[in-house]
Structures are given as C-alpha cells and as structure tokens.
C-alpha cells in the first residue's frame, strides 16, 4: 500500500502514505504539545502562579481547541502510519504499544473535552476540579508525545525519550473479560468524575 491517499481532483494518487503520515503526525504532535503547555499553565494557576484573567482565558480556550484539533488529526496519523509500515506489518511490539498509547491519549483527551463542554468554565471553579482537568490534559498530551517518540524509535531506532531508558519491547496482553472490566471501569470512572465536577462547580455557585 505504497500509495493510498488519492488526489481530490482527477482521481490520481498524489502522495504516499509515508509522506501523509509525516504531515498528520506533525499536526498531532504540534497540537498536543501546545495543549500540554496550556494545561501546564492552568496547573500553575491552580497554585496561584501566573494568576492573570487574560492568561487564564487564553490558555483555557487555546488548550482545549488544540486538544480537539489534535484529536481530529489523530485518526489520519494512525491510518497512514499503519499503511506506511513495512509490509503493513503491525506485529512489532513497538507499533502495538504505539497504538495502545495513542488510544489511551485519545480517551483522556475526549474526557477532558467532554468535561469542558458539559461543565463549561466552571471546571476551573475550584482547585480540585482545576487540577483534575489540568492533569488529565497534561496526561493526554504526554501520552501522545510519547506515542510520537515511538515512531522515531521504530523508523530510526532512536527517540528523544531514550534518555529515560524505557522499554517498549513487551506487550501487555489480557483476556477479553479483563479488557471488558477495564473498559467498563474506565467509562464509569469518567462518568462519575464528570458528575462530581458538575456537583462541585454547582456548589461553588
């Protein structure tokens, strides 16, 4: 599947999946990195650092917008990455861990965006909800950046995170029932967290 992304006009193939993957990955990494910076600032503001209303509004809007844009670009990066892998072989432990990390980052990012949508700016109404939202955003950004670093490890056998001596050659496999339990637990925890944040924000007002 060397050429999988057709031209919009004329039906001709214009770009290889590998090139498209680079473009999509840069969009994802840039968006999540920007979101991570914004959520880091929001974390500091929870401890009364950089406590400016203007900075607060800018980082709130920019962080969530960047996170949303990164999520939109993520499926394109994943699909083009699978298509451009040698022989479309996804049996490599690095690639499988890469998919696991990207899915975890996507789930965290979705929960952050949903909380912001459901609660609005009240999500920053108190320290507890602010830290929950900020740490979730930082977690999503960190996991996605780690996912991107594995791409460099897979293609060039080097990564920015090599200094941490992390091993990604082991794949955690679980039976279907255990996967189902974890999925249900995750969804339930997300729902309870959103309901708790909503109640806390309502009490503050």
CA 9 to chain centre: 32
Instruction: Output the pTM of the full model.
Output: 0.72
Half-sphere exposure of 67 (CA within 13 A, CB side): 34
Q: What does the pLDDT read at residue 182?
A: 62
Burial 114-135 (b: 16+ CB within 10 A, else e): ebbeebeebbbbbeebbebbbb
Which tens digits make up the pLDDT trace of 89-148? Answer: 556 666 677 777 788 888 888 888 888 888 888 888 888 888 888 998 998 898 888 887
pLDDT-derived band of residue 4, with 50, 70 and 90 as boundaries?
A: very low
Q: Is 36 helix (H, G, I), strand (E, B) or coil?
A: helix
CB neighbours of 72 closer than 8 A, spacing ≥ 6?
A: none
Spatial distance between the Cα atoms of 65 and 34, rounded to a whole number of angstroms: 10
Which tens digits make up the pLDDT trace of 26-83? Answer: 899 899 999 999 999 999 988 888 778 888 889 999 999 999 999 999 888 878 777 7
**Top-confidence residue, 75 or 3:** 75
Q: What does the pLDDT read at residue 93?
A: 67
Residue 188 scores a pLDDT above 90: no
Spatial distance between the Cα atoms of 57 and 121, rounded to a whole number of angstroms: 9
Helices 127-156 and 17-46: crossing angle in degrees, nearest 10, is 150
Q: Say how many domains are in the chain.
A: 1
Domain carrying residue 30: 5-204
Q: Phi and psi (nearest 5°) for 42?
A: -65, -35
**Top-confidence residue, 18 or 63:** 63
Spatial distance between the Cα atoms of 114 and 41, rounded to a whole number of angstroms: 20
Average of pLDDT values for 162-190?
62
Residue 195 scores a pLDDT above 60: yes
Half-sphere exposure of 115 (CA within 13 A, CB side): 35
């Amino acid at each position: 599947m060397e050429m999988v992304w057709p031209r919009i006009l004329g039906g001709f193939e214009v770009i290889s999946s590998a090139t498209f993957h680079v473009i999509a990955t840069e969009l994802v990494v840039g968006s999540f990195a920007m979101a991570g910076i914004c959520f880091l600032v929001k974390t500091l503001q929870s401890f009364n650092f950089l406590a400016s209303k203007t900075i607060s509004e800018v980082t709130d809007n920019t962080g969530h917008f960047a996170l949303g844009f990164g999520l939109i670009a993520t499926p394109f990066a994943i699909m083009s990455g699978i298509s451009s892998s040698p022989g479309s072989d996804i049996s490599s432990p690095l690639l499988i861990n890469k998919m696991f990390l990207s899915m975890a980052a996507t789930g965290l990012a979705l929960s952050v965006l949903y909380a912001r949508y459901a609660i609005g700016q009240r999500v920053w109404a108190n320290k507890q909800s602010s830290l929950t939202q900020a740490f979730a955003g930082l977690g999503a950004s960190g996991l996605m950046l780690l996912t991107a670093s594995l791409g460099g490890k897979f293609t060039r056998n080097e990564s920015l995170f090599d200094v941490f001596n992390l091993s990604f050659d082991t794949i955690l496999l679980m039976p279907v029932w255990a996967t189902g339990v974890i999925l249900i637990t995750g969804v339930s925890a997300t729902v309870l967290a959103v309901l708790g944040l909503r109640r806390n924000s309502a009490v503050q007002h």
